[in-house]
Structure 1
Amino acid sequence: MTKPGLLPEGFHDRLPPFADVAAAVEARVLEAARLYGYERVDPPLAEYAEELAARLKAGGLANAVRFVDPVGQATLAIRPDLTAQVARIAATRMGHHPRPVRLSYAGSVLKLRATQLAPARERRQLGVELIGLDSIAAAREVVAVAADALTAAGITDPSVDFTLPDLVDTLAAGALPVPAGQIDALRDRLDAKDAGGVAAIAPAYLPLIEAAGAFAPALERLRAFDTTGALASRLDGLRQIAESLGDRVAMTLDPTERHGFEYQSWLGFSLFAAGAARELGRGGTYVVVHPNGNEEPATGFTLYADALLAGDATVERRRLFLPHGTPDAEGASLRAQGWVTVAALDPADTPQAQLATHCWVAGQAQAL
């Protein structure tokens, strides 16, 4: 038997006032996206496991909770990620919609297993997807929405770390050939910044380890490395994106970062805040596959709600206690002014019992 009130490992309650704060942050993030034309979709919590597996990155369903539907007897999966569902909606239910289609979302996902760094199994994801266009303009817009979303969430010192997920594939297929059987190992060694491992496979790739750091000098090091121009269009795109952001966010570049970017194409980025224990979100360019096998480019990002709220150790309450018998019209007027009112429902009620910060006395709000 379990103890009363005990939750499974990886699950937690969010209590007041933190649940209110989380809802308000979510609303502000979605509003920031709406102002750019992103309309919200709300996919179901579970789908057919086979359909969901087809849209998740390789091995994605291994971290999904699956069960047999007692109604239809089919195997269903609770979503471990929302991006795949949004891609499905764009490719099927909104396949007729003029491109690009701009969608936003918010919802909970469930992981079969968690990690020590991120022990929560139920998580809240927020994000946007721009589907049907692969261009610098599309990438610039999505990164700009991400920056505005972080500001809307109350992040005062955001930063963006850019990466080029298909960098090794692009170079290995042309300017710097690498045997097909060694490409995966080379990616791993570059991602781990293992100079010895890279040298053993393809020494020509060693300068990429040093081409990381603050955005401007890192970009120049990459340009110096790219003597054949194989990366020119990508580097020009990165420069244009950075110029559009200006000084709104700090920017870094790690061209060989691969963790979490297994299915992105030419652009990937991670979102951070100074002092945060882990990243706040991640995004980039990728491909949506339609039921007929056709592919469609897309760009988007996901924010992790718990990471956004990790810095909110204290939450300010502002509650106005209305003594028993306060006229309803006075309470309505105060709420119209922005007050949160807590009315005494019996004469013995007190401001302290209702966690009030102010009390309504003789027509004035007095701080307690």
Structure 2
Amino acid sequence: MSDTPELLPVGFRDRLAPVAERGAAIERAVLGVLASHGYDRVDPPLAETERALSQRGGNRTDHLRFTDPISQRTLALRTDMTTQIGRIAASRLADAPRPLRLCYAGQVLRLRSGQLRPERQMTQIGAEIIGSDEVAAAREVVSLAIEALQAAGVTGITVDFTLPDLVDRLAETRYPLDGAKLEAVKAELDSKDAGGLAALGAQDYLPLIAAAGPYHDALAKLEALDAGGALASRIEGLRAIALPIADDIRLTLDPTERHGFEYQSWFGFTLYADGHVASLGRGGTYALGQADGGSEPATGFSLYPDALAEAGNGESERRLFLPIGHDSAAAARLRTEGWRTVAALSDADDANALGCTHRMENGAAKPL
């Protein structure tokens, strides 16, 4: 029999100290911000019926499925918690007053991973306003997402705005397109292919490629394109959302960005930070309850903070060694001051080997 431990599946890994501890602290900090703004926490199950998760997720099929030995039904592990929040709002909390503010935190499982985010199990933390997708709700959610990241110690934040239904709106009004051509134009805009747009005879949409970049410049270009006023309400909405955001937050605009916003309605945003290649989260406006034949407006965001825990913040941990016969009352006092204590179990225990930075002597912490 081999003594070699079995390797974890691709995309899965153990999180040890101090990464696991930082992750827990980040989760507490973010949820504390959400609670302080009146968001009530809900905790949906890790697995549901595969049919329910697929329908509420836009008929997604990228779930890890298994047969429930009790009911013999096909169950699936969640890939996203937002759809579960929608189920709770539409069923258990259907009679709750709107707008309904909910928050959540938990693990989600992806069937496949990508290059920028190779992990398949990750932490998702988020907040949703159920019952409103108005500008006021979007403004609150964006500001809340920024505050949550700052509480987690994030600096150098960038918020990238998008308007998921922009091309559809222009195609219905100022620059008409039929169904087949509309999808082709969207594909060329996704790849920022000016030649492809020209080949389609969609020159009117070329300025949208240039209308991406720093927020104020991009918004001015979008206004110039919208001479007919088809996007006037969208542009005013963007201005209102950006208005309360502090000057130290970078704002950008990519009005045709659709990746990750397939189910958003008129507004979406992505969160980035210095030192992180992948995004830290995204949000926007959308509709809940479509799987049940109904629809309810909602606005929210999700954060994926595992990268923050992995990166750390460079702070050294204060770890205090408590020798045999130490003053337990003094040790308790030091713990309230933020020290982490490690008590010796025998005279053979070594403070340095146990990762301690200090040793208690005469009721006080002394550097090793």
Please report the TM-score for the alignment, with normalisation by the length of structure 1: 0.96
Q: 1:310 to 1:159 in 2, by over 3 A?
A: farther
Task: Describe the SS at the equivalent of 1:266.
Answer: strand
Residue identity matched to 1:72: S
Distance (whole Å) between structure 2 residues aligned to residue 250 and residue 310 of structure 1: 24
Q: 3-state SS of the aligned residue for 1:245?
A: coil
Identity %: 54
Written as runs of structure 1 = structure 2, the 5 A alignment for 1:153-302 is 153-201=152-200, 202-289=202-289, 292-302=292-302
Counterparts of 1:209 and 1:273, CA distance in 2: 24
Alpha-carbon distance in 2 for matches of 1:295, 1:108: 27
Structure 2 residue ranges without an equivalent (≥5): none
For 2:323, the equivalent position in structure 1 comes to 323
Look up the SS of the partner of 2:263 in the other structure.
coil
- Matched length: 366
**Partners of 1:207 and 1:225 within 8 A in 2:** yes
Q: Contact 1:279/1:307 (CA < 8 Å) preserved in 2?
A: no
Q: SS at the partner of 1:178?
A: coil
Q: Distance in 1 between matches of 2:130 and 2:114?
A: 31
Contact 2:331 2:363 in 1 (8 A): no
What SS does structure 2 have at the residue aligned with 1:360? strand
The code of the aligned residue for 2:323 comes to: P
Whichever residue aligns with residue 48 of structure 1, its letter is T
2:14 maps to amino acid = D
Amino acid at match of 1:327: D
Q: Distance in 1 between matches of 2:253 and 2:44?
A: 34
Structure 1 residues without counterparts, runs of 5 or longer? none
Secondary structure at the counterpart of residue 298 of structure 1? strand
Aligned equivalent of 1:7:
8
Mapped pair 1:143 → 2:138: no
Range with bigger deviation, 290-299 or 32-41: 290-299
- Taking structure 2 as the reference length, the TM-score comes to 0.96
Residues 1:119 and 2:118 are matched in the alignment: yes
Measured against aligned partners, the alpha-carbon deviations of 1:44-88 in whole angstroms (never above 9, x if no partner) come to 000011111111035x2x221011111001111100111111111
Deviation at 1:311, TM superposition (A): 2.7
2:46 aligns with: 45
Cα distance per residue 1:235-288 (max 9 Å; x no partner): 001001111113141100000111111110100100000231111111111000
Q: For 1:143, give the aligned amino acid.
A: V
Q: CA deviation at 1:117?
A: 2.4
Q: What is the match of residue 83 of structure 2?
A: 84
State how far apart, in whole Å, the 2-side matches of 1:356 and 1:285 are. 48
Q: Deviations over 1:215-235 (max 9, x none)?
A: 011111101100111100110
Q: Which residue does the alignment assign to 2:307?
A: 307
User: 1:111: Cα distance to partner?
Assistant: 1.1
Match of 1:152 in 2: 151
Question: How far did 1:353 drift?
Answer: 2.2
Q: State the match for 2:349 in structure 1.
A: 349
Moved more, 39-48 or 291-300: 291-300
Q: Which stretches of structure 1, 4 residues or more, deviate above 4 A after TM superposition?
A: none
Residue 64 (structure 1) aligned with residue 63 (structure 2): yes
Q: Find the aligned partners of 2:364 and 2:58 in 1 and give their Cα distance.
A: 59
CA-CA distance at 1:134 after TM superposition: 1.8
